[in-house]
A and B are shown apart, each in its own frame.
Chain A
């Protein structure tokens, strides 16, 4: 896309995420050509949509689409996907002695489809299985973030319809794409929290002046901006170098930054931000759950450290 097209696409996505959520947002994305964009300019499609989705605190099945797209060109464009269980990044199902065992998560799209795609770690590589959702044990999750519409999926044995082997790198490509998407969503949510806290600080008067005049408040907000911009820079780097390792670093930093921003902004918004009348709580809840999808900041960061110590080598630096 050229700059003018990008700008238009960006505004279209912003409008869609501000107006719709869930199935309605899926429909809007289908209509505005997001799937074509995903096929032709994955970076623009993913980075723009997920940042807006995070900012507006809405949901969609776009993460299903990102994973489906990575799994192969033959995958249905609006398929429902079973993601790994919370905090995990390996395929949600494996082939055990007694059959296929499944434990994972889905978006609310899973409940609206008759079938879903499950990646199974089998003895001889990874497969994509089409399963009937009616035969899965699906629990709509309320939990920390009821608005996120996650579905917990379990099953001891599932009926496996046509099974397609995927490339050796298929699953890791899908994980990388999902991590970038969730990373952008975390940055979008961080930006929204910072804006809420910023506006509050300018308007809330105490001791005869807006609390934005107090350095203790200003520095929390400044640190929030540094945190979210550092995550954004590393996400950009991950798109540039295309490596799964950089994407994992960027997802981890986005998660850690979002937690930092949530902490600062909650403190600045104080009592107001603690009520359900104020939107902050939706973001605070959301980033905690998003951070855990496809590997939390905590786990990915420790994994990276162990990996560096084993290899005795830093990840290759981003070239000029």
Chain B
């Protein structure tokens, strides 16, 4: 399947099934967003579109990751799915395909693609945010499997998730990058407690997850014991390619929505122009990254530039929103106003999650500018 054929077929399908794909009711709450995401994934999977770009051994139809990039662009650009919750599929399916035992991947990945399951990513901990390699959630080797005890935080969608890609400490405390093992954990295992966190933007998508002696079979190990750091790092190219491209489509859509309704005198044209340029530059950068991914080039620290650009573009776009639609953002309690407000507030986190703006600059300084260590 070539990209142009895929684009043509998908656009036609989306037009034809617009009514069935549209949300059944409001999409104000996270529950409603999740229900909409499941529905769209199921319909797109059954029509074949959700299977292109994934390998056949996990239920896919093969083809370039560019097909997935376009699918997510079309879905977010038409406001059918929210890109943040959709991105979990893009980042966690490749992890399973590359690192799970083949039978497990073949069994589980189709459930994620078809929207039958939600997965979460248990990485950050209360004591390890930016310094991920210091994580402490412990997995102890017992006769019949791993026994996991510890705590994760900022785990997106854990309250909805059936599975978790979990990073655990299997080496000695202080073994840093060298003593981490990745596990694929059933979220209904005894000993797991999930507590959603109320956040300022109003959607409780982040959770605390507590593990109290949770049993995990050995065959749920992703990659090799003590080599979980490379599993985590292999996830990065996907978080920084297809998922960012989808974000670009979403930001374009929302900025377009804004310019259709904003009072002409409510915006500084220079600020609007700068946001449009920045978004276009981010999109151009992300497109080039996708072409490198599709050519099987190894994506590395240069994607920190993409990450800095997406955060800058997102905040620039929603700064414009807040300035141009102040009455809606600040006073509005209807669904439109609430949505603009929630998105504006969430954009403040763009320089925090997925590696802070400061961590990205540290990576750029050390790995791209070759400035040596910072101490």
Contacts and interface: CB of A to CB of B under 8 A. Distances in A.
B277 A236 contact: no
Contact of A212 (B271, B278, B371): B371
A233 B269 contact: no
A230 B70 contact: no
A234 B271 contact: no
Given A201-B371, A222-B361, A233-B288, A249 B276 contact: yes
A168 interface: no
Nearest to B373: A213
A305 interface: yes
B259 A230 contact: no
Contact of A318 (B284, B361, B373): B284
Given A212-B372, A225-B364, A233 B273 contact: no
Interface in B267-289: 267-274, 276-278, 280-285, 287-288
Given A218-B362, A320-B73, A309 B272 contact: yes
A198 B280 contact: no
Contacts of B51: none
B271 A305 contact: yes
B192 interface: no
Given A212-B371, A309-B272, A249 B364 contact: no
Interface in A180-234: 194, 198, 201-202, 210, 212-215, 218-219, 221-223, 225-226, 229-231, 233-234
A213 B277 contact: no
Contacts of A225: 305, 364, 368-369
Contact of B281 (A213, A222, A231, A313): A231
| B interface: dominant SS | helix
A302 B305 contact: no
B365 A309 contact: no
B371 to A, nearest CB: 4
Contacts of A320: 3, 7, 66, 69-70, 73, 245, 287, 290
A218 B269 contact: no
Contacts of A308: 259, 269, 272-273, 276
Interface in A285-320: 298, 300-306, 308-310, 312-315, 317-318, 320
B284 A198 contact: no
A80 interface: no
B277 A226 contact: no
A212 B374 CA distance: 7
A221 B3 contact: no
B243 interface: no
B276 A304 contact: yes
Residue from A229, A233, A298, A304 whose CB has the most chain B CB atoms within 10 Å: A233
B224 to A, nearest CB: 33
A174 interface: no
A246 interface: yes
B233 to A, nearest CB: 20
B58 interface: no
Interface string A232-258: 011011000000001001001100100
A304 B371 contact: no
Contacts of A210: 372
A184 B268 CA distance: 28
B358 interface: yes
Contacts of B280: 234, 237, 246, 249, 315, 317-318
Nearest to A301: B273
B346 to A, nearest CB: 21
B277 A249 contact: yes
Nearest to A212: B371
Nearest to A201: B371
Between A198, A219, A317, the greatest number of chain B beta carbons within 10 A of the residue's beta carbon is seen for A317
A298 B281 CA distance: 17
Contact of B270 (A226, A229, A298): A298
B252 interface: yes
Contacts of A218: 361-362, 365-366, 369, 371, 374
B284 A237 contact: yes
A315 B305 contact: no
Given A317-B283, A320-B290, A222 B369 contact: yes
A313 B270 contact: no
Contact of B259 (A214, A233, A309, A317): A309
Nearest to B269: A305
B116 to A, nearest CB: 28
A305 B272 contact: yes
Contacts of B287: 237, 318, 320
B44 interface: no
Quick one: which of B269, B281, B368 has the most chain A CB within 10 A?
A: B281
B189 interface: no
B255 interface: yes
Interface string B1-22: 0010001000000000000000
Interface of B: 3, 7, 66, 69-70, 73, 245, 248-249, 252, 255-256, 259-260, 262, 264, 267-274, 276-278, 280-285, 287-288, 290, 305, 308-309, 312, 358, 360-362, 364-366, 368-375
25 contacts: A194-B369, A198-B369, A202-B372, A213-B371, A213-B375, A214-B374, A218-B371, A222-B369, A223-B361, A226-B305, A226-B312, A230-B278, A230-B305, A234-B281, A237-B287, A302-B269, A304-B277, A305-B276, A308-B259, A308-B276, A310-B264, A313-B259, A317-B252, A317-B283, A320-B66
Given A201-B371, A320-B290, 7 more contacts: A198-B371, A219-B358, A236-B284, A253-B278, A310-B264, A312-B259, A320-B287
